[in-house]
Amino acid sequence: MPRDDELKPSGGALSASASAAAGGTDPLEPFRARMATLKSKIDDLPAKVRLSEGRDAAENVETESNRVADLANRVRELGYAWEKDLEARCLDYRRRWQELRPQVLAALDKESAALSGRVTQVAYQGNYALQHATNPATADQILSDGERPVAALINETEAAAKTIRGMFDNFSSDLHREQAHLEKIQAMLERAAQSKIAWLPGEAVVGAVKAKWDRDGKDDPRGYLYLTDARLIFERDEEIATKKVLFVATEKQRMQQVMFEAKLGEIENVLASKRGMFGNEDHLDFNFAPSANARQAHYHIDGQDANEWQGLVQRVKTGGMESTRVTALSDAEKQRLRNAPTKCSNCGSPLTAPILRGQTDVKCPACGSVTRF
C-alpha cells in the first residue's frame, strides 16, 4: 500500500516553476494545463465514486413523490373538481417508488463499493505521474501513463451512474411531469381566487390563461381568460398609467374588472391559430350566439398553447369533462382521513407522508411495516 506522502506530488514537480520564478523560462509550461486537470480529477475521485449525483437524484424522487401528494391535496382544497383519479395516481407513484427505491440504493452501494476500492491505486498512479513529470522530453509519456487509469475509473464511474439512473429515469420523468401539471393547476386556482369574478354556486374552473383582448389595437385590455364548466370570462387585470411626464408613467393604477362573459352554450365556435413572424404567438377566435354580449372576440393568449385551449373548450362544451368530475367527500370519509395514523404501529417512527383521499394504508419509511386505517 503506498504511503500518503507517495500519493501527492512532491516539490520535484514544481522545480521547473521555481526556476522560472528565479528568472528563467518554465520548460514545463506546455504541460501545466494537463497537470492541473489531472490533479483536479484525482482530487474529485473520492466523491465521484460515491455516486453522489445518483444518490441526490434518488433523494429528489423521494421528495417529489411526497410533493405531488401535497399538491393533490392543495388543489382539492382550492376547489379543483376534475381528474377523479388524481389521488390514485399520486398513491401509485408513491407505491412504485417504495418498491424501486431499495433496488436503486442497493445498486448504488454495490457499485460505489467496487469503484471506491480502486481509488487509492489509481490516485497513486496519477500522483506518481505528477511527481515525476519534471523533464519536458519525457513529461508527455509520464503524464499519459497517469491520465489513463484516472480516465478509465472516471469512465467506469459514469457508466455505472448512467446504468443506475436508467433504473428510475422514466419514472422520475413521469413524476416530474405530474408535479408540473399540478403546479399549473394550483397556479390557475390561486389566480381564480384572486379575481373579482362572482363565481356561480358549484362552478368549477377548467382553465385560466394570461391574455389580451384584441379589439381595436389601441390600449387593448390585458388580463386573464377563464374557462369554467358554465362560462367563458375575460377579466381585465393590469396596471395603467394615470399620470405621465414626458411620456413616462409617473403614477399607475391597477384595473381589475370583468369585461366579458358568455355562457358555455353561447360559444358557437372557437378557432386556434399561430401568428407572429415566427409563428410562436397563440391566438383564439370565438364566435358567439346572438344572446351573448358580443358575437365575436379575439384573444392573444400568453404561456399556453392555443390548440390545447381549443380542444379544452370543445371538450367542456360536449360534456367530455364530466366523466372526470370528482365527487364530494362525505363527512365520514373526511373524519377517517383526519384520524390517519401519525406514528408507525411497529417501530413508533413518525409517518409524515401526505394522506390522500381513497388511501387505506401507510407504509413506514423506517421499518417498512404497513399500517391500515
> Which pTM value belongs to this model?
0.77
**pLDDT per residue as tens digits for the range 58-77:** 999 999 999 999 999 999 99
- Domain-by-domain residue ranges, the chain? 4-194, 205-324, 329-373
Residue 322 pLDDT exceeds 80 = yes
**pLDDT per residue as tens digits for the range 21-68:** 555 688 899 999 999 999 999 999 999 999 999 999 999 999 999 999
**pLDDT per residue as tens digits for the range 220-277:** 999 999 999 999 999 999 987 767 767 677 777 889 999 999 999 999 999 999 998 8
pLDDT number for residue 10: 47
The domain 205-324 having CATH identifier 2.30.29.30: the answer here is yes
Asked if 208 contacts 235 with a C-beta cutoff of 8 angstroms, the reply is no
Residue 302 pLDDT exceeds 50 = yes
pLDDT number for residue 6: 47
**pLDDT per residue as tens digits for the range 133-176:** 999 999 999 999 999 999 999 999 999 999 999 999 999 999 99
Comparing 2-11, 103-112, 255-264, 266-275, which segment has the lowest mean pLDDT? Answer: 2-11
User: Mean pLDDT throughout 193-203?
Assistant: 92
